[in-house]
Structure 1
């Protein structure tokens, strides 16, 4: 089976995700036979997807599918058995679900500053926030930029912390020759929405501890699928009821995720080719707009989104000019310490969540420096190579943006 190549000469610009005709036909077959529950002990599409994800993303570690990346995170946070009130170190510059998914388990997120050069958790700042209650560290490979896993693993070991990787932006990414998601004690990939591997709404998890794996199985996959995979007598008894969750994936999503896993090498190559060409033009036409430097040790993978720093002018003005020229540009999302759940410690109580510590925005100078002047580029029109001889529409858009900038400065 091979990835279908989209014919860009005969179709308008199309935004990711799309799937091959083979996948569409398989989904049609599922609809015709009515096999949509995925509740049996074994299911052809789900089992095949988990096996391919294990091989493609997780270096052979066992992989479990859930119905979303957030559900996979919730499952792992509960399955780790850290105890209610345990503290978890996480960068304020993280996707919201990386943090909010730990709240139902009674875990306390401790927001840490970001390194302004990489965007990842500042381990020096994190060290000052370690207490006797600190039990885990979560690292997010944000925007597809892998964190320094050597330093992070050493930090977690030194402080006796469980290390969890959120790889939802980093499918197929490697750090110093190792796949992200295989250095931590547990890892999650979102395979929903517009991710580089997408089933519309789905997620993947893996972990190294068999007890954690079996607890996750009972929490996410009650009854037949869990009973076929759990060995411990007590947890096996719980498979009859589960714990009130139903997080198993839909077979249609499994078909779509498998399709993107097959296509992943092509996806990564296409995005990297387009990025290289566009950055060459960017340097010539808009030299005051600088791409964030490539992460050190990043040897495989592609960026989920691109980020360019605007020097000498506000990022909001740059985003407006780029958007007017046809570039899918906007400002990055606000850091978590600026959002209502973390600025008003009364709000969580409305949802039955434990009281959160309200962070002082002044303690996040690295995050502020990282986001200053930064513009985010949505790359959903960059998932296919251009036919030979065709001009990249983004190149023409950059030339228009340069013209607009010249007129504004005149």
Structure 2
């Protein structure tokens, strides 16, 4: 097996976290139905310290649940339009649909990978109620410009930081500029409990609304607003309680987050130097503008014109043991948006028709782009060991030269 493939793949957890989950299982308290829960509150406090600059953080069942709760807690009017990037994770957009909100897809910035704020400004109408920014792949959207656009048009600002745990823009943590911010702690994120989500809100009333929407009965009855406290006795149809096992595991990753970010940064620098030496026709996307802390959740290399079709590039890298894929296609190509009436069968609002030619920045961003899964980059190389990416890139370069020579001969 190639040495790259032999690397330990994220996620993993410390022995102390594994022991804590065993104690929870032995105790049998997995419902977290009370007003307080030690492990969940500990995870929330760590998240406030590591991610949100001390702002209160609520843990819920998943990142999508955090988004749904955030949209609901903001009290956005049904039928209101929400500006969001065409190049974004699907849940950032689909989580607003049950609230009757209408996503308006905007172009992506080909340099940052996030929403093009100038294009977003062109989509503002009298019906626009919110702007969503996603720090895609850990590449931050400029926070000052996003806040200024939202304030200029009296829009709510939502930050999806699910790829950006520990990321800062110009010294400011992402998630602390928006009215509502969320982080996923699921799947293979840099902080994960297998499943979970975190939510923070700038306004205390929005926070209390989110608590009642997501945490019915015991915990939500801690809110101060009498009317919301009365609603908390029953809830309003949602149950987004966090899972204690996930809280223990995510807290373990929050404690090691500085080490994770430093390790990934060092590994990225080393591998990009090897890439430049052995396969310079693949060029990493430039470092995110304005990012002063953090690490990339996934890396992206652009294939130069001397290389064959992108599918051949991906296959050569994978054959050499590098965890490569083509990035996900943009939302404006998905059936939900190409057929505006498709969601009506589920009672969803009719979405605006999309014109593929309206997203040139998204096209430039994704053109001949290769996505590198970084799950083998969470621990440093043992001292003195050769970097397995060196041999893998040499092998991939040889394969690609052979493929290119064959295509020239044909």
Using the size of structure 2 for normalisation, the TM-score is 0.96
By how many angstroms is 1:350 displaced?
2.1
Distance in 2 separating the partners of 1:198 and 1:272:
19
By how many angstroms is 1:392 displaced?
2.0
Number of the residue aligned with 2:168: 174
Show structure 1 runs of 5+ residues with no match: 1-8
Distance in 2 separating the partners of 1:224 and 1:41:
5
By how many angstroms is 1:121 displaced?
1.1
For the aligned residue pairs, the C-alpha RMSD in angstroms reads 1.2
Number of the residue aligned with 1:6: none
Number of the residue aligned with 1:280: 273
By how many angstroms is 1:292 displaced?
0.3
2:47 to 33, 43, 53: 53
Number of the residue aligned with 1:4: none
Number of the residue aligned with 1:385: 380
Alpha carbons 1:305, 1:377 under 8 Å: kept: yes
Determine if the alignment matches structure 1 residue 62 to structure 2 residue 66: no
Alpha carbons 1:167, 1:189 under 8 Å: kept: yes
Alpha carbons 1:88, 1:137 under 8 Å: kept: yes
Determine if the alignment matches structure 1 residue 90 to structure 2 residue 81: no
By how many angstroms is 1:408 displaced?
2.2
Three-state SS of the structure 1 residue aligned to 2:194 is: coil
1:156 to 133, 140, 150: 150
Number of the residue aligned with 2:330: 335
Q: How many residues align?
A: 400
Distance in 2 separating the partners of 1:213 and 1:85:
23
1:239 to 226, 232, 235: 232
Distance in 2 separating the partners of 1:396 and 1:123:
41
Number of the residue aligned with 1:115: 109
Determine if the alignment matches structure 1 residue 183 to structure 2 residue 177: yes
Greater than 4 Å deviation, 4+ residue runs: none
Number of the residue aligned with 1:36: 30
Determine if the alignment matches structure 1 residue 364 to structure 2 residue 364: no
Using the size of structure 1 for normalisation, the TM-score is 0.96
Three-state SS of the structure 2 residue aligned to 1:391 is: coil
User: Mean alpha-carbon deviation: is it higher for 398-407 or for 101-110?
Assistant: 398-407
Alpha carbons 2:85, 2:105 under 8 Å: kept: yes
Determine if the alignment matches structure 1 residue 196 to structure 2 residue 194: no
Determine if the alignment matches structure 1 residue 293 to structure 2 residue 311: no
Three-state SS of the structure 2 residue aligned to 1:111 is: strand
By how many angstroms is 1:12 displaced?
4.5
Number of the residue aligned with 2:408: none
Three-state SS of the structure 2 residue aligned to 1:205 is: strand
Number of the residue aligned with 1:78: 72
Three-state SS of the structure 2 residue aligned to 1:246 is: coil
2:339 to 336, 339, 344: 344
Alpha carbons 2:112, 2:140 under 8 Å: kept: no
Distance in 2 separating the partners of 1:324 and 1:350:
43
Distance in 1 separating the partners of 2:236 and 2:114:
34
Structure 1 residues 221-232: aligned runs within 5 Å: 221-228=215-222, 230-232=223-225
Three-state SS of the structure 2 residue aligned to 1:306 is: strand
Distance in 2 separating the partners of 1:343 and 1:138:
21
Distance in 1 separating the partners of 2:6 and 2:395:
20
Show structure 2 runs of 5+ residues with no match: 406-410
Distance in 1 separating the partners of 2:350 and 2:22:
47
By how many angstroms is 1:120 displaced?
1.6
Three-state SS of the structure 2 residue aligned to 1:157 is: helix
Alpha carbons 1:315, 1:372 under 8 Å: kept: no
Alpha carbons 2:302, 2:370 under 8 Å: kept: yes
Distance in 1 separating the partners of 2:293 and 2:271:
19
Alpha carbons 1:309, 1:315 under 8 Å: kept: no
